[in-house]
Amino acid sequence: MLCLLSYGKSIQGVLVTRTHALYQQRWLTVFLGLLVFLSLSSELILFFIVFQFETFTPASAFGLSGCILGCTNGMCKPMLIGFWVPFVLFESIIFGLTGWKSFKSLNSSARISRFPSVITILFRDALSVCNFLIWIADPYASYLAVG
């Protein structure tokens, strides 16, 4: 889980850099960097709280070797849901900012030319909801679609 957390934060750093390249505004970069820091802090706190309630069951009972990790406490499920909330919030803000910039750029390029250009097609494809659908289908595989 910590490996996934560090991978997700590096992706968020790339998204902040990309958004800075789109907007070129320092205050927005600082705001997004602060969101990354706050989400990392809350996710680490929730992770360590849930980790205290983790139980290790010998996998030999299932014909496997090693241990199976699980959380039987009723508090684990809400904590794990809360673990993903900052990630979804950050991704939604980045998606909204990128969509807004794409929309504004698309409108300005549409005034210049009436024919769809490669840039117009790329903007249309950039606004796909692939990330959102993958996150709904399998939240633990959401890192696959971020790129």
pLDDT value, residue 70? 72
* Tens-place pLDDT, residues 104-136: 877 665 565 565 666 666 666 665 656 666 666
pLDDT of residue 31: 92
The pLDDT of 54-77, averaged and rounded, is 74
Question: To the nearest whole number, what is the mean pLDDT of the chain?
Answer: 75
pTM of the model: 0.60
| Spatial distance between the Cα atoms of 46 and 61, rounded to a whole number of angstroms | 30
